Structure formats: structure tokens, C-alpha cells
Amino acid sequence: MYGKLHSACLYGIDGVIIQVEVDLANGLPQTSIIGLPDSSIRESVERVRAAIKNCGFTYPMQRVTVNLAPADLRKEGSSFDLAIALGILMTSGQLTLTSSDRLLMIGELALDGCLRPVTGVLSMVERAKREGFEGVLLPRENAPEAALIAGMNIYGISHLADLTEVKELESGDRNTKSSRKKDNEPIVVSISHLRYRPESTHAKSFIKDTDGISFEDYSDVLGQQHVKRALTIAAAGMHNILLIGPPGTGKTMLIKRLPSILPALSEQESLETTKIFSAAGKLKQSEGLLRQRPFRSPHHTISSGGLIGGGTIPKPGEVSLAHRGILFLDELPEFSRSVLEVLRQPLEDREVTISRARAVFTFPARFMLACSMNPCPCGFYGSDHPHHRCTCSLQRIAQYRAKISGPLLDRIDLQVDVPRPKEWPGTANPLSSEEMCVQVNLAQSVQLARYRNTPFNWNSELSGSALRRFTKLDRASADLLHSTLDMLGLSMRAYDRILKLARTIADLEGSSDINSGHIAEAIQYRQLDKQTVSMDEAMY
């Protein structure tokens, strides 16, 4: 006897449809799962056996073979339990499920037959819709997440026995299962009554809005107006930024308030980020569709695999979890140099490519890199504090900064000094997040209009001929940029990033053209490049 159902699993962050084939044959009673399963799938034999028995069904005393196709694709996870259990019940003639051909089945079984939620449901349901499936049967806890994909019928159950509950009630006999055994007739199950209704209160609460979310405000930060200006520019164009200054000047405090001035995610961006968090198992059941841009702040002991993703079947790392948001690296030189170097590809290509023997995985990584660091090992190089003078030699400072390679530094658009604040409470009205956010939203609306028919959303994404097209310079601006390029020894990558930055500065000022003032302001944010030149002159 043979039966076939469909389930799904994650491969990277993408869902893959898997055929679950069940064959019952005469022979010694044993169950085999083939098709490159991992240990968690092989262990599902005992989960499925116990769940079937504890729900009042009979586990077949035959040779049971379960094949997961395609057989050349390695599978992992517990999402196949439900499909395997139903496949065995249907093939053994104990249960008939109507409309099972175009129905996807996902879920992990407990020993008592309860269904437990699985990760990555959003990606699996999205793939099912693309491949023409009409509905998905899955754990009830996953139903709100699955319902985010429009046009799919979602059926949620909390227990394997939920499938037969209505049939039993209609018969008026709680011993329907035992009488079925005598009649040798399968229970015919219709799942239409289990359909999840997205318009329910629970579903509405699952799709959250940004209204009512409170953020730390820039009005809490005294002074540092030039740093707030730099952060506004960074947020307006999604440019990478590095804050450099002595301990206690508010570098971390300033960067942690960046989410308060960033625009909310669009519908497509929200779905992208939610899909990544779902695949990584980071999506809480109460969070719903993510509306606020991610803010990730890994510890400096993180490995390169943790940063960009890894594993036999790779999972998203921090750079992908920060997709469409911010990746904050506090105390940048404390990170391993080898870890920092892996950022070069995602910062340039805006995606991460991980190669394995059987496949190549690509994860999205469009994020703003925000970093902070001290100017030297003791932290007080260039400080004007009367009681804290730098005790580091120029050679030691150079060694400290050498942890950040030139190619990585080239990819950071704004390098900003953060000195000790000069203002105290009550001396001035500090710039608030609301005021900064208004400027950012205006600049973003200009960019969205400009790049309407292009693949770009932000000035920082410009490349190639598009960069030249949208950042045309007059003679004075071009001469200023070329002379600075020669004086500071900047690379052509830094040249391009200055152009993108100047484009954002012009947008913030409501100017359609880039002038020499915009170029001059963009150049002044190459702070470490200027300091490196000064230190080289002092050393030699």
C-alpha cells in the first residue's frame, strides 16, 4: 500500500516542498525513513508512533518505509512529523483526508498527539503558494504567521485528534474509533471547519503597527549637534557610520537612538525581515509582522559564522538579521580582525553567499553599519580633558587602528569625532528625535520619487552608471573632490561614497543639484583618513 502527501522544510531561509511517500509492506514490523534525513527526522519515528497510539489509532504491524523526496536534498527539522503521521494513517486505511493533493502539512508532534509550532513557516507557506498549493495544515500557534501570506487557506490544529473531533460529535458516539476498527472503515475527515480566519482579533493583533512604540529620544543627549547632524544624514541615506571619541562621550547612547529617526518598513520590506526572523527562529509568536527596522548589536566575541551565518545547512547570521535595519558594532577594534573582514562582501554586495558541498546559499544583507570606537588604547587621544591626557605612543595608536583594515574603513561613509559635550542641562534646547525624523522622512520621499523606476531605494545603494547619472557635479565641486582625493590618498571606492553622501546632504537641504558645499561637508566626515595623514606626517 502506497500513499503520498506534501510537507516542507527550510533550506537556508527559503522554503522547500518535500514529498512524503509512505509504503506499507509485509515483513517484520519496523519503520525506516530514507531521503537524507538528519537525526531529528529519524527520531520522529518514535514521536509519530506514540502520537498515533495515544490518539486511539493503531500503528501498523508491517514494514513501514517513509521516503522524503527529492532524495538528494539533505533535510533537517521536525516539520515532517504531521505529514508522516497522516501518511501512515491514510495508507493503513484508518483515515481519509479530503482534498489532500494540494494541501501542505507542517508540524512537530508531541508524544500525546499535540502539535508544536515550528520555525520558518512564513517561507514554507510562501513557497507553497508559488507552487500552486491551495492550503496549509499546521499547528494552531503558527496559523497567524502563515496567514500573513494572502491567498492561502490556513488550517490550524492543536492536536492530531482535532481532525476527527467533528466526525465523532456528529455520530454521537465517543467510541467511534473502536467501532471503526470493527467496521474496518476509515474515518473521512474534512478540514473546512478548521480554517483559520485572518479577520479574527488574534490575527489583527499579530500584525502590529509602529504606533505606540516608544523609543529613546535624542532630546536626552546634551549637545553633540554635529554628531546628530551626521546621524541624520546616515539615516536619510542608510549610510554606514563610525563614531570615534573618548569614553563616556555618548557614542553608544547616540547610536542606540538611531531607530527613533528611521522610517518604518514598507510592506515588502516588512515581509522580507519577518521571513528572515522566522527562518532563524527569532520571531516570537506575539511579535507578528515586523514593522520597525531591526537593530542588532552582537557582542565583540562573536564568530565569523555568527556574524554572516553558518551551519551544515546555513542559518542567517547577524548581518541578515539586520537586513533593512542597523548592525551596531560597539567598540569596533575589540572585534577579531578576521571577523571584521567578513563584512567586506555583504557591505559591497548587500548579500551574503555561503558555499557548501551540496549547495550555495544566498542571504539578503541590506543594512546600515553603525560602529563606535575609542581613538586609541587608553581612549583619550585628542581629548581636551585637563585630567585625562593620552599616554599612547603614535606607534601604539597605529597598531590599535590597524585592527580595522583600509578596505573596511573605505566602506564606512561617515567617520565622526565625538568630543566631550560642552552643554549642560538647561543651557539649550537639544535636537529631538521627532525633528530629526521629519528631515529623514522628507529626504526619503525625495529618494523614493527619484528612484521610482530603478532597483534602488536609498542613495547608499547607487552603483555604476546610476551613480554618475544621479550625482552630476559642477566644475567647482569636481575640482574640490579631485584635489581632496589626491591630498588624502583616498581610493575610488571612497570617492564614490563621498558622492553618495553628498547626494543625501543635498536631498536633506531640498536641492536637486549637488554643489561644492555638499561635497565639502561629505569630505569632512572622512575623519580617520585625515587623522591617518596627520599621524603619518608626525611619525616620519
The full length of the chain comes to 540
Fold held by 2-205: Ribosomal Protein S5; domain 2 (3.30.230)
The helix (H) or strand (E) run that includes residue 374 is none
The fourth-level CATH superfamily of domain 218-539 is: P-loop containing nucleotide triphosphate hydrolases (3.40.50.300)
3-state helix, strand, coil in the chain (%, to 5): 40, 20, 40
Contact present, 400 and 229 (Cβ < 8 Å): no
pLDDT at position 114 is 97
Nine cell digits for residue 268: 515588502
The more confidently predicted of residues 184 and 476 is: 476
Higher pLDDT, 359 or 443: 443
Under the banding of pLDDT at 50, 70 and 90, the label for residue 488 is confident
Q: What's the start-to-end Cα distance of the chain, in Å?
A: 84
Phi-psi region at 248: left, alpha or beta (left = phi > 0; alpha = psi -120 to 50): left
Please check whether residue 371 is in contact with residue 329, taking contact to mean a CB–CB distance below 8 angstroms. Answer: yes
Q: What is the pLDDT of residues 372-420, one digit of tens each?
A: 999 999 988 877 777 778 888 888 988 898 889 989 999 999 999 998 8
For residue 141, the model assigns a pLDDT of: 93
Span 49-81, pLDDT tens digits: 999 999 999 999 999 999 999 998 989 899 999
Look at residue 202 in the predicted model and tell me its pLDDT: 46
Query: For residue 5, with 0-12 CB atoms within 10 Å meaning exposed, 13-18 middle and 19 or more buried, which class applies?
Result: buried
Ranking 73-87, 92-106, 497-511 by mean pLDDT, the lowest is 92-106
Across 142-253, where does the E strand assignment appear?
153-157, 187-189, 241-244
d(CA 351, CA 37) in angstroms, rounded, equals 29
Q: Tell me where in the chain the CATH 3.30.230.10 domain(s) lie.
A: 2-205
Distances (CA, A) of 166 to 120, 163, 174: 30, 7, 11
For 135-151, what is each residue's pLDDT tens digit?
Answer: 999 999 999 999 999 99
Q: What is the pLDDT of residues 236-289, one digit of tens each?
A: 999 999 999 999 889 999 999 999 999 999 999 999 999 999 999 888 765 678
Residue 407: cis peptide before it, omega within 30 degrees of 0: no
